[in-house]
Amino acid sequence: MKARMEKQLRTVSLLLVVSLLIGGYNGIQVRNLRSAMRDSADRTTQQISSAQSSIQSAVWSINNTIAQMREEERWAYPASYAANQTESTAEGVVLDISWSFREVQRGADVYLLYRPDTRSVPVEWTRVEARQLEGAAYSAPVTLSPLLNYEYQIVVEGENLRSTRPVSIPGSLYQAQPLRISSWGGNVNREGKWVGDFQFEVEQHYLSLFDFLNAGDIYLIVGREDGTSRRVEPAHVARDGYKSWFFNVAAEGLASLRVVVTYGDGAVYYKDMPLEDNWWRYHNELEIRRGDSPLTIIQP
pLDDT 10s digits, 68-125:
555 555 677 778 999 998 899 888 999 999 998 887 778 788 999 999 988 777 789 9
Question: What is the DSSP secondary-structure string of 169-209?
Answer: PPGGGTSPPPEEEEEEEEEE-TTS-EEEEEEEEEEE-S--S
Please give the pLDDT value at position 168.
92
Where does 105-178 show beta strands of DSSP type E? 109-116, 126-129, 131-134, 137-144, 150-157, 161-163, 167-168
Indicate the pLDDT class of residue 182, thresholds 50, 70 and 90.
confident
Q: Is the per-residue pLDDT at 188 higher than 80?
A: no
Domain range annotation of the chain: 80-170, 179-295
Q: How many CA atoms lie within 13 A of 113 on its CB side?
A: 15
CATH of 179-295, one of 1.10.3470, 2.40.128, 2.60.120, 2.60.40: 2.60.40
Indicate the pLDDT class of residue 297, thresholds 50, 70 and 90.
very low
Q: How many CA atoms lie within 13 A of 233 on its CB side?
A: 5
- Structural contact between residues 261 and 269, judged by C-beta atoms closer than 8 angstroms: yes
**Worst-scoring range by mean pLDDT, 61-65, 109-113, 280-284, 289-293?**
61-65
In angstroms, rounded to a whole number, what is the distance separating the alpha carbons of residues 227 and 79?
55
Q: How far is the CA of 36 from the CAs of 22, 33, 155, 168, in angstroms? A: 21, 5, 64, 62
Please determine whether the domains at 80-170 and 179-295 fall in the same fold group of CATH: yes
Residue 250 CB contacts under 8 Å (≥ 6 apart), including other chains? 197, 198
CATH fold, domain 80-170, is Immunoglobulin-like (2.60.40)
